[in-house]
Structure 1
Amino acid sequence: MRHMARMRRGAMTAALLAATMTCSLLAGCTRDGAIDDGRGRTQGPSQDQDSTPSSGSVLAVKIDNVRAARPQTGLEAADVVYAEQVEGGLSRLMAVYATRFPKVIGPVRSARESDLELLRQFDEPTLAFSGAQHKLLPLINKAPLHAQPPETASGAYYRGTDKPPPHNLYLRPQRLVGSAPGSAALTTGFRFGPAPAGGSPETSRTVRFPAARFTFTWSDSRQRWLVDMDGTPTVTTEGKKVAPATVVVQYVKVRASQFHDFLGNNTPYTETVGSGKAKVLRDGRAFDVNWARPSATDGTEFTTTDGAPMNFPRGQVWVVFAKA
């Protein structure tokens, strides 16, 4: 079965490579090299529900996060949202879904090399994305994941009319992978339970990238962190405020990769294997913690300064990768 899956991924990559080479000769390529048609190991549920057996693996979706792409769709339903730095100091999101699928997710944009390392913690996840730098495509093919761009799953994607291309590509997740696999597929290493002792009162925390910023403000009434991005409240197209229960500011090494966009800007590589410091925001408090991910196939463990496991409350988790 793995051999057949790899053969299918090989055929997919050949098609993607041909499409990307064509894109380089035509107008309509996006700023980051995405293909565009010009038309526009500790487990626990992150949602407020009991743990359910896994019937598959997670769905990870690369989501556009420049101003022109907002408001996004389906972001509030993700179990985990990762925020990483991309070219020009901007940000991009990777939303991970396991416990429930919204009807629509997007806008969908291109993949990065860092995504491959980050996704190794899951068992052959499905990655939904739109294009990639053409030299990265062979690495995507070799990765233990199911790559599903529009070129191989056109029936699951559509172009919306609410935004100009390339910020209007949307995914219908059930057409791509069927039903959600369940919380047991979330092999992130996160632990869920009561808050440890300690921490400091925290009402707001801002994380800055060179050309982007995230602000998380505690809401007593909702018992959640309200998200602002680049100074604007994060609200989905359905009018829902994005409000995670936990925010992790994880300090990591962000280095230059071997890849560039078509303007020559280097693509940052975010190293998520290793160890370091982090801030965990929960229940209106900030906790100084250590993080450790020994290998790419491991989840990330968070411990307090005295070595005790750091528990998260039930609900959505945002992880913002900040430069150490």
Structure 2
Amino acid sequence: MTIRALTKLLLTLSAASILLAGCQSGDTAAPTAPGGTGETPAPVEQPVTTQPAAYFSPLTGEPLEAPMQNRPLAVMINNAPAARPQSGLQSADIVYEVLAEGGITRLVAIYQSAVNTAKIGPVRSIRPYLIDLGESYHGVLVHAGGSTDAYAIIQSLNKEDLDEISNAGAYFWRDKSRKAPHNLYSSGDKLRAAAEKRGYSLLDSEVPAYTFRKEDDVPQGEPASKVEIKFLLDSYHVSYIYNAKTREYERFVGKKAHKDKDSGTQLSAENIVILGADHQILDKVGRLSVDLSSGGKAVMLQRGRVIEGQWIRAKNDVIRFVKDGAEVPFYPGKTYFSIVPNSPGFDSHITITK
């Protein structure tokens, strides 16, 4: 064989070797399946999994990114007809309605989640059982005056309070569009500034927590599209009507929607608890003693249904709704409590419509 022929043979073998190596590498296109186009199939999207929240609000059950450590404010809210509509109630986590003297009712609004509510009020005076309600949530008590007995408790036991009359007047203001005493207001920022100036702690990681259902839990109980609550006077007749779209009970006073003065939003809550307590008249003015410890009959409305049960109160705890000895969970959101007299009978104060 000539040199020229040998060289040609070697070049041919070398080219064949390179071609074979390329065919064995991972860079070659995948073989086309019978009937296929030869294109690489698109990647299958994996379902997105949502991590459950690590923290929840102790009073509303709503998810949080960090532990809730705000100390609540417990504000006494005027509920006289001349004080309506009020401001800031839609920002409260919990609202209590309870009788004061003369057949009127007062509201105790518990603010923990919304620390900077722009306007809260009108603010009104305090009573011993309202102190009890506010402190059950570890709240700083916010009021304008009070009964003799309430002042005696606050002063003798060094309660942490913000009183427009005695110790925090600079942190309240009067709305000139309304007549006194139905025109006294404050704000979340002002009240917390007042508490800080008086040396009260604004942090509390031990606020009693409620138990809560999951949002998609099936509601229990009998159908209840509406509940009417009668205290003593017609001007304080309250009703809650269920809105299936929002899954909340909307509040009415008389036949009118009870709205926030500034936003125009109708007040509503996910959970309504009505409980009976023993009331005792103390004096000629009609001041009351209300038993908030002994427990008794109660009903709870949520998601268009009503559950009959009882309320209980352990020492240093909040009022809780139970059935067959176990606490019934709330749905996440706001809760309104109505405390009615046991006399002439708990059932005489409520009317439930299916």
Q: Provide the rounded CA distance (Å) in 1 between the counterparts of 2:60 and 2:86.
A: 21
**Which residue in the other structure is 2:260 paired with?**
236
Q: Distance in 2 between matches of 1:60 and 1:185?
A: 16
2:230 counterpart residue number: 208
Q: Distance in 1 between matches of 2:219 and 2:69?
A: 36
> 1:143 offset after TM fit, Å?
4.1
The 5-angstrom pairing of residues 273-292 of structure 1 reads: 273-292=293-312
Backbone CA RMSD of aligned residues = 2.5
Matched, 1:252 2:277: yes
C-alpha change, 1:56 and 1:243, in structure 2 (3 Å) is closer
Question: Does the CA contact (< 8 Å) of 2:61 and 2:212 recur in 1?
Answer: no
TM-aligned CA deviation for residue 54 of structure 1: 4.3
Match of 2:63 among 27, 30, 49: 49
Aligned length in residues: 274
Give the whole-Å Cα distance in 1 for the aligned partners of 2:161 and 2:94: 19
Q: Deviations over 1:130-152 (max 9, x none)?
A: 11123431212234631111131
Equivalent-residue separation in structure 2 for 1:45 and 1:51 (angstroms)? 16
Superposition pairs of residues 190-201 of structure 1, within 5 angstroms? 190-194=210-214, 198-201=220-223
Gaps of 5+ in 1: 1-41
Tell me, yes or no, if the aligned pair for 1:128 and 1:148 is still in contact at 8 Å.
Answer: yes
User: Which one has more relative contact order, counting CA pairs under 8 Å at least 6 apart?
Assistant: 1
Report whether the alignment pairs 1:301 with 2:320: yes
| TM-aligned CA deviation for residue 88 of structure 1 | 1.4
Equivalent AA in structure 1 for residue 183 of structure 2: N
* 1:62 aligns with one of 66, 76, 81: 76
Task: Say if 2:128 is the partner of 1:113.
Answer: yes
1:224 partnered with 2:238: no
Q: Larger C-alpha radius of gyration, 1 or 2?
A: 2
Relative to structure 1, the CA distance from residue 134 to residue 299 in structure 2 (aligned partners, 3 Å threshold; closer, same or farther) is closer
SS at match of 1:167: coil
Q: Distance in 2 between matches of 1:153 and 1:313?
A: 36
* Other structure's SS at 2:130 match: helix
What is the SS of the residue equivalent to 1:136?
helix
Can you give the 5+ residue segments of structure 2 that lack an aligned partner in the other structure? 1-55, 343-354
2:48 is matched with which residue? none
Shift of 1:52: 4.6
Cα separation, partners in 2 of 1:185 and 1:246, compared to 1, 3 Å: farther
**Normalising by the residue count of structure 2, what TM-score does the alignment of the two structures yield?**
0.71
Paired with 1:77 and 1:175, the residues of 2 have a C-alpha distance of: 16
Q: What secondary structure is seen at the aligned counterpart in 2 of 1:265?
A: coil
Select 1:165's aligned residue among 180, 184, 207: 180
Q: Quick one: distance in 1 between partners of 2:111 and 2:88?
A: 10
Deviation at residue 106 of structure 1 after TM alignment: 0.3
More displaced stretch, 239-248 vs 174-183: 174-183
SS across alignment from 1:148: strand
Do structure 1's residue 149 and structure 2's residue 171 form an aligned pair?
Answer: no
CA distance in 1, matches of 2:159, 2:213: 30
Which residues in structure 2 correspond to 1:16-31 (within 5 Å)? none
- Cα shift readout 1:40-80 (whole Å, capped 9, x = no counterpart): xx982416333853435210110010110011000000000
Identity %: 23
Q: Relative to 1, partners in 2 of residues 1:53 and 1:197: Cα closer, same or farther, differing over 3 Å?
A: closer
Alignment of 1:84-163 (within 5 A): 84-101=98-115, 102-123=117-138, 125-143=139-157, 145-151=159-165, 152-163=167-178
What secondary structure does 2:123 align onto? coil
